[in-house]
Structure 1
Amino acid sequence: MSLLTWPVRTQTRAFSSSALRRNDPLSSIQGSDAPPTNTLPPLNRPLGVRERPTTLAKSTTARIKELMHTDALMEQRRHLFVTVVSLLACTLTVVVVRVKEASVGYFHDVNMTRKHGGKTWIAPQVLIREDKALYLPNIAGKVLSDGSTKHTTEMCFGKTTILAMLNTKVSEINVKGFIDPTHARYASHPLYQCVQVNLQENLLKSFLVNLFLRSLRRVTPKELHSTYLVSSQNMEYVRDALGMTNARVGYVYLIDENLKIRWGGCADATKEETLALESCTGVLLKRLERKKEMEPHPSTQ
């Protein structure tokens, strides 16, 4: 069956409203139709954040209102609990606990990479419905071409974008498996672009990447320099929302002109996932072309 003629009811079931209420990007599957434990489940919820991204810094009033919100406050407490304890106690025990916690996170990612190559879910075969899709959070970084700072919110608005998140050699290989066929097909399309974000949240790794930008420019195709971002932005609060549960593998997102994530893939791409990304990109481009044609020309207004 063609991807373009996939039944609407199948899409609606895959991204039902009940899945939106789950925090885990891979909600547990129960019942007689549950897949075997040795297989990976499909992505069954939209990826992204509910709040439309912006490049503007939040005002003090906005920050206070955000902190007064119960859910936001509990989320802040969950992430900052260890830091608060260390400031109050100032003991060696707390420091050891924090080091142990960091080590567990690292080895967890390594062990997860050994299983299924770090893949935790299978990409959908069709686009996530626009009314169910969520937003890509704003990511700032330095452009590989000239070192200036750019934001994904400004770069992706008004275009169909394949956005790749990478930070290791393994993730680079993962990303290439997803995007190479699609990029080769649509690279010349005026409404298409490929954005790569080299995310290095570790300060030492970020320093080393910036130190070797010249060699990074040599291995990156010149036509992609203007859309290649090197970022050290902290993604802790949006990692789960984006399904980025393993920092060792690559993640690929298909973004529409309104900054919504309409498709996502992770780790090693299967043949079906690669074909799905190419097909879904083509669908978004055709829709955007029709939308542009329907817009009134400035001279006729």
Structure 2
Amino acid sequence: MLRRVASRSSPIAVFQARLFCPTGPTDQTLRTIPYFHVTTRGFLDLHKMTSKEAIEKEKARLSDELSRGYFADISEMRKNGGKIAVANKILIPEVAAVKFPELEVNLTDCTTMKLPVVTGDKNPDVSLMCLSFRESSQRMVESWSLPFLDKFGGDTNIQIYEVSFVDSWLLSLGPIKRSFIKIMKKSSKPHQHIVYALGDHYYFRKQLHILNLLTGYVFLLDRVGRIRWQGFGTATDEELSNLLSCTSVLLDDK
């Protein structure tokens, strides 16, 4: 119930309701449309379940998902306010840094791209990846991205990607996806990219050890896509200072 209340007034929930009620959604509409709330931690890909191996893999995934539910996220948020760990104070050494997993995202012009950008002429020296899995965590990632943009917004060697994850199967459908993307938030700043990852992101989360979907995640990447720094939740003054100084070090070492 808590999840439905949280998502009822979100832009995503409203958009889905308009698909079925062209005259405009109401609270009653948002409550009664079945299965279309953006409330799940993921969904099963039925087309994969054509072999015993695939079925066993999905069973293991389902068990993993059920072991960590929404109320566990809520409980953790009440305890630490989204600070699931303290942000790095210094850069992670190159030998210990792991690659940020590849992720296909949708831009607001309905094109797609793969992150991180590590090849080509537009390959940045430093990238800040801000991940938000629920609308409630967008302000958390903005507590990092906005000061970062103020400090480095004029540097062409830096790019900021604010990624919103939407795990609704309905919004992953072609024509609906294009309509949804067109109405979503856009950025007017050349170095800030607001992008959307639609569909199943379970295995992506597994690679980054992301469990709580209610908090925000921030990763600082070097030129080859390695994670050199990471933060969580809402930025503190000290953590933000560390992020900015680590970014300056990366730029000096390029």
Percentage of identical aligned residues: 27
C-alpha spacing 1:204/1:104, structure 2 compared with 1 (3 Å):
farther
Match of 1:120 in 2: 84
Q: Distance in 1 between matches of 2:128 and 2:232?
A: 13
1:258 corresponds in structure 2 to 224
Match 1:201 to one of 167, 175, 182: 167
**1:260 Cα deviation after fit:** 0.1
With over 3 angstroms needed to count, the CA separation of the structure-2 counterparts of 1:179 and 1:225, relative to structure 1, is closer
Q: C-alpha offsets along residues 10-34 of structure 1, whole Å, 9 cap, x if unaligned?
A: xxxxxxxxxxxxxxxxxxxxxxxxx
CA contact (8 A) 1:143 1:225 kept: no
Gaps of 5+ in 2: 1-52
- Which residue does the alignment assign to 1:187? 153
2:220 and 2:166 map into 1 onto residues whose CA distance is 21
Within the alignment, does 1:268 sit opposite 2:231 as a pair?
no
More helix per residue: 1 or 2? 1
Task: Indicate conservation of the 8 Å contact 1:139/1:233, yes or no.
Answer: no
Question: Aligned to 1:140, which of 101, 104, 112?
Answer: 104
* C-alpha spacing 1:141/1:185, structure 2 compared with 1 (3 Å): same
Indicate the structure with greater strand content. Answer: 2
2:113 corresponds to which of 139, 147, 150: 150
* Total equivalences in the alignment: 196
Paired amino acid for 1:234: D
| Structure-2 separation of matches of 1:103 and 1:202 | 21
Please tell me whether Structure 1 or Structure 2 has the larger radius of gyration of its CA atoms.
Answer: 1
Q: Is 1:216 paired with 2:184?
A: yes
- CA 1:194 to 1:106, structure 2 compared with 1: closer, same or farther past 3 Å? same
Contact map agreement 2:118 2:225 (CA 8 A) in 1: no
Rate the CA distance shift 1:104–1:185 in 2: closer, same or farther, 3 A: closer
Question: Which amino acid counterpart does residue 125 of structure 1 have in structure 2?
Answer: K
Secondary structure in structure 2 of the residue aligned to 1:278: helix
Q: Which sits farther off after the overlay, 226-235 or 187-196?
A: 226-235
Compared CA separation, residues 79 and 117, structure 1 to 2 (3 A): farther
Change (3 A) 1:161 1:240: same
Taking the aligned partners of 1:187 and 1:135, their CA distance within structure 2 comes to 24
Distance 1:267 1:205, change over 3 A: farther
Q: Deviations over 1:63-118 (max 9, x none)?
A: xxxxxxxxxx8xx88752268xxxxxxxxxxxxxx79x659612211222222112
CA distance in 2, matches of 1:80, 1:243: 18
Give distance in 1, aligned partners of 2:191 and 2:168: 23
Within 1, Cα distance between the matches of 2:250 and 2:80? 30
* Contact residue 162 and residue 192 of structure 2 kept, 8 A: no
Question: Is the CA contact (8 Å cut-off) linking 1:161 and 1:256 kept in structure 2?
Answer: yes
Residue 80 of structure 1 is aligned with which of 33, 43, 58?
Answer: 58
Q: d(CA) in 2 for partners of 1:111 and 1:120?
A: 12
Task: Tell me the residue number matched to 1:229.
Answer: 195
Tell me, yes or no, if the aligned pair for 1:165 and 1:252 is still in contact at 8 Å.
yes
SS at match of 1:229: strand
Residue matched to 1:5: none
Question: Partner of 1:284 in structure 2?
Answer: 250
* 2:193 aligned with 1:241: no
- Provide, for residues 240-295 of structure 1, a one-character-per-residue CA deviation record: whole Å limited to 9, x for no partner: 4323221111111001001100001111222111111111111111212xxxxxxx
The one-letter code sitting in structure 1 at the alignment partner of 2:193 is T
| TM-score w.r.t. length of structure 2 | 0.67
In structure 1, the residue matched to 2:136 is 170
